[in-house]
Structures are given as C-alpha cells and as structure tokens.
Amino acid sequence: MNIWEPDKLILFIALFMPGFVSIKVYELIIATKRHDFKNSFLEAVGFSVLNFAALSWLFLIVFSPGFSKNHPILFSLIVFSIFFVFPALWPIIFVRLSKWKRISKYIISPISMPWDYVFSKRKSAWVIAHLKDGRKIGGKYSINSRASAYPNQRQIYIEELWVLKENGGFNKPIERSGGAIIFEDEISIIEFFN
C-alpha cells in the first residue's frame, strides 16, 4: 500500500486535516503541551470523525445528485467550511462553553494552571510580587505587560515599576522604568489589585 497514491493521499488529508486544525486552534487558545503529531495522529483522526459526525447533514447537501455541478461556488464553500472553518470553530465553542457556569460545574476546566487562568483574562491590574529573598516588586500589569503560559517556565513582565509605600500601597512610578521580568523561581506570592 503506497500512501502517496492520489486517492490514498486525499483520504489521509480528509481524515487528518480537520482534527489537526482543531488541535492547533485549541493550542492557540489554551496553554497546553505541544502535540507531537507522530503520537497524536489518532487524536487528530478522532477529532476529524467527530467533526464529520456533527456536520453529516452538510454531507447530505453537498453530495446530493448534481449539487456540485449546479452550485460549484457553494459546493466549494461548504467543503472548505467542513475541513477548515468548523474545525477551527469547535475549540472556540468548547472553551466558551467550558466557562459558562451551567456547564463548567460538570467538566474539568481546560485551563490547567491558576497562573494561566489569571493571566488569560488579560485584565489590567496593579501587582506586587513578593520575592523569596524578602523584596517586593510592584507595578502596573497592563496592555504591554506579558506572562508566559504552560508548559513554559512561568515569567511575568510588568511594564511599569512603582515605588511601594511601607504599608504596601503604590506611591509613584519609578522614573524611566522600562518594567521588569520576574522569573517563577524568584516569586513567593503575587498580589493583584484593581
């Protein structure tokens, strides 16, 4: 059996591509370990089969007699949607549903680390990082700040550092501050303030 024969190659792409698209979009939304597709081939095929099952009604339309000849543009759009658009939408729908309170109580959150949960909200906040050596670094975590995501080493970039008051409040910005990167090995606790 030669997989490079055109009919077998088309079957391979048809069974693999939708699942591959779903996995890649999911990895863009949720911090996960990167897939080794040598080991995840069956997972991609499984997602493709689920995609085809959910869209079986579209197959009935597309493969009805004469449809492709009478409606070539619509045929192409539907086939493209089956193989690329819907597979890209399924992970987005799943993540949205997993955040919905009525459903979230029945499934495990796809976000594996509290670090990722907090920073995936992309909300601005004032932060104080308590370092293991006793120092405190405070500043503004906002639109130009960043935090790494699982499975990478956790780091936070605070875009603007502030002088802290003795009672823990924020006094004033440090002049000419370009921010700071703090590594997880140095952090004991991070406090967030609105």
pLDDT score recorded for residue 81: 93
d(CA 87, CA 95): 13
d(CA 106, CA 37): 29
pLDDT score recorded for residue 147: 87
**Mean per-residue pLDDT for 45-57?**
92
Average pLDDT of the chain?
86
The ranges assigned to domains in the chain are 6-104, 114-193
Fold of domain 114-193: SH3 type barrels. (2.30.30)
Residue 140 DSSP symbol: E
Q: Place 85 in a pLDDT band, splitting at 50, 70 and 90.
A: very high
Q: Measured between alpha carbons, how far is residue 71 from residues 55, 61, 75, 76 in Å?
A: 19, 11, 6, 9
pLDDT score recorded for residue 3: 61
User: Rounded to two decimals, what is the model's pTM?
Assistant: 0.66
pLDDT tens digits, one per residue of 133-186: 989 999 999 989 988 887 778 889 999 999 998 877 888 989 988 899 999 889
- Contacts of 157 by beta carbon, 8 Å cutoff, 6+ apart: 145, 146, 147, 179, 180, 181, 182
d(CA 85, CA 182): 39
